[in-house]
A and B are shown apart, each in its own frame.
Chain A
Amino acid sequence: MDTLLSGQLLFAALVSGSLYALVALGLNLVYGTLRLLNIAHGDLVMIGAYTAFWLFTLFAIPPLVSLVIAAALCALLGWAVYAGLFRRMLAKPDLAKRVEANSLILFYGISVILQNLAALAFTSSSRGYQYLDTVLTWQGVSMTGNRLLSLGVATTVCFGTLLFLRFHLFGWGLRAVIQRREAAQVVGVNMNRIQLATICGGFAVAGIAGVLVSMTEQITPFMGFPFTIVAFVVIIIGGLGNIGAGILAGFCLGLVETYGIALTSPGYRSILIYGLFVAVLLIRPEGIFTKAVRS
């Protein structure tokens, strides 16, 4: 019981919760504005993680700097997807219909390609590096610098995005597109600009999350898929396209996961996550579906 009430466990829950919130934020933004369930989202986390790993081991560039580079790299990928696929879909309605029906399989294909390209280039062995891993103790809670940094960056990006959406004119437009895309267009919101900016931004956030993961955990080319699943759980709990609730749900999942594992054993982590995932989809299919159909 003592361990359950300790600050140690709470800290662990907050660190993973903030990371889940961050990964889910990108997925949610992309879904909200483009109606695209990007199943390759976790692989962007993987790309961010490898970017940080190589920059650190080869050039001793600290992860805080890699954050910017990884974000830029993933944003570039977002631009490529938008230019390569969505421009074409806008031009050809029959292509658009086909892609929508198979979008998930399509992105699963992209995901498989990214994973195996990474495995070819970097081998499948897991890698890691040591950065800020000295233990600091505060009020009886021991924490490593990298975890503290991860918590700080993830929380800052999440809440920064929320503030941007609330107070910046562009953020207003973005929220308008999420809520009523036709109405937003009628009142003069530039859909193309918003969609392009969101896909770049959403991908960039995933890259940032990847850099944070690489500081504390071993990375592999196949690390991404569990993150995709986690992000799906989070945004379905929080409500698709509902950015603020999604961030809250991310922290909640961190709490549930950490305390769930503390009560059972680490071997149950995957069962817990996938169980939640299946349960959430089964319990709320109508609610989820009505939103999907309105698009």
Chain B
Amino acid sequence: MKNVSITLGLALAALGVAAPFTGSPYLMGIVFQLAMWIALAQSWSMLSATTGYLSLGHAVFYGVGAYVCVLLTGLIPFEFALIAAAAAAALFAALVGMPVLRVRGPYFVILTYGLSELVRHIVMRIESALGSFGRMLFDVPPIEVLLWWMVGLATLATLGAFVIRHSRFGAGLAAIREDEVAAETVGVPVARLKLLAFIASAAIPGAVGGLALLRTSYFEPAQAFDPVISFTIVTMALVGGTETVRGPILGALGFTLLSEFLWSSLPQLYMIVLGLTLITFILFVPRGLSGLVDSIKGAR
């Protein structure tokens, strides 16, 4: 099974690196989307799959990254703007993490959602007070460059998720998921680990937000902080399976292909299918696509 996962990962990475040489904007667009969702879902899993603190507000990091990037574009080279976007998202997570991570269970889920919406409305208010209704970007890097960056981020997020799961840090996070009080009693530094995981899971989405902004070359706060982003991340990760590193990749792959078929023509139907799939998997396939693959292999 491990070999299959590694092959899948390498094949996807190779596809990402090679896509620009085909010269097909359509293919590059799809691969860009796929890499973006892998990066986001893997980052989400660093906190939410390991500790069980389900974040329904990851759009906030994506949005903060996009906002920082749009403010810096033109002032500094885009590479630095992207790094600044990741740093800003991580900083934001560090600032709000302490109080937010004291809240558990369903309250954490709605709190992250509420926080994301709060920031969205504040940014909308700031932008309209500045008299700006959407900002256009000029001189954005070509799609090939952006694609390679995105593939790099997806790889980084996947490796990061792998390293976290197989480290002492990850063992501590797993202890928090199983029983936080017991973990604290035996000396796991619960608050610090949760905060670090939160920061780790925020950084890459910040850079992803910046890249996605450069790709569309248009910033509008309502879109950059769109709660649909948060919902899609959670759906992909849960449907893919949260127990393994390959889970989020499988989920992102499935939904990116689905959205190619449905999103442009029937966006509402796409959202309905998203919701139905999510419900079905929570109720009947708790281990996700990843678990399904395992059981098929086991039955053989």
Contact = CB atoms under 8 A, between A and B. Distances in A.
Interface of A: 37, 39, 95, 98-99, 101-106, 108-113, 115-117, 119-120, 229, 232, 267-268, 270-271, 274-275, 277-278, 281-282, 285-286, 288-289, 292
Contacts of A111: 275
Interface string B234-277: 11001000000000000000000000000000001101101110
A66 to B, nearest CB: 25
B110 interface: yes
Contacts, number: 112
Nearest to A283: B99
Mostly helix, strand, loop or mixed at chain A's interface?
Answer: helix
B286 A37 contact: no
Given A110-B279, A112-B271, A116-B272, A105 B114 contact: no
Contacts of A286: 102
A116 B118 contact: no
A232 B110 contact: yes
A232 to B, nearest CB: 6
B121 A270 contact: yes
Contacts of B117: 229, 270, 274
Interface residues of B, number: 38
A277 B106 CA distance: 14
A104 B286 contact: no
A197 to B, nearest CB: 24
A113 B121 CA distance: 24
Task: From A99, A104, A108, A113, name the one whose CB has the most chain B CB atoms within 10 angstroms.
Answer: A108
Given A39-B110, A101-B52, A278 B272 contact: no
B120 to A, nearest CB: 9
B109 to A, nearest CB: 4
A6 B103 CA distance: 40
Nearest to A277: B114
B115 A278 contact: yes
B234 A105 contact: yes
B257 to A, nearest CB: 20
B140 interface: no
B231 interface: yes
Contact of B121 (A37, A104, A271, A282): A271
B192 interface: no
Contact of B105 (A271, A277, A282, A292): A292
A102 B54 contact: yes
Contact of A106 (B107, B272, B279): B279
A271 B282 contact: no
Interface string B89-124: 000000000011011111101110011011001100
A58 to B, nearest CB: 23
B272 A120 contact: yes
B203 interface: no
A285 B106 CA distance: 11
B262 to A, nearest CB: 11
26 contacts: A37-B106, A98-B283, A102-B54, A102-B238, A105-B282, A106-B282, A109-B274, A116-B269, A116-B271, A117-B268, A120-B269, A120-B272, A229-B114, A270-B121, A271-B122, A277-B114, A277-B118, A278-B111, A281-B107, A285-B102, A285-B107, A288-B107, A289-B103, A289-B105, A292-B106, A292-B107
B56 interface: yes
Contact of A102 (B121, B275, B282): B282
Contacts of B118: 271, 274-275, 277-278
Given A95-B283, A105-B54, A109-B275, 19 more contacts: A37-B106, A39-B110, A98-B286, A105-B109, A109-B235, A112-B274, A113-B271, A115-B271, A116-B269, A116-B272, A116-B275, A120-B268, A229-B117, A271-B118, A274-B114, A278-B111, A281-B103, A281-B110, A289-B103
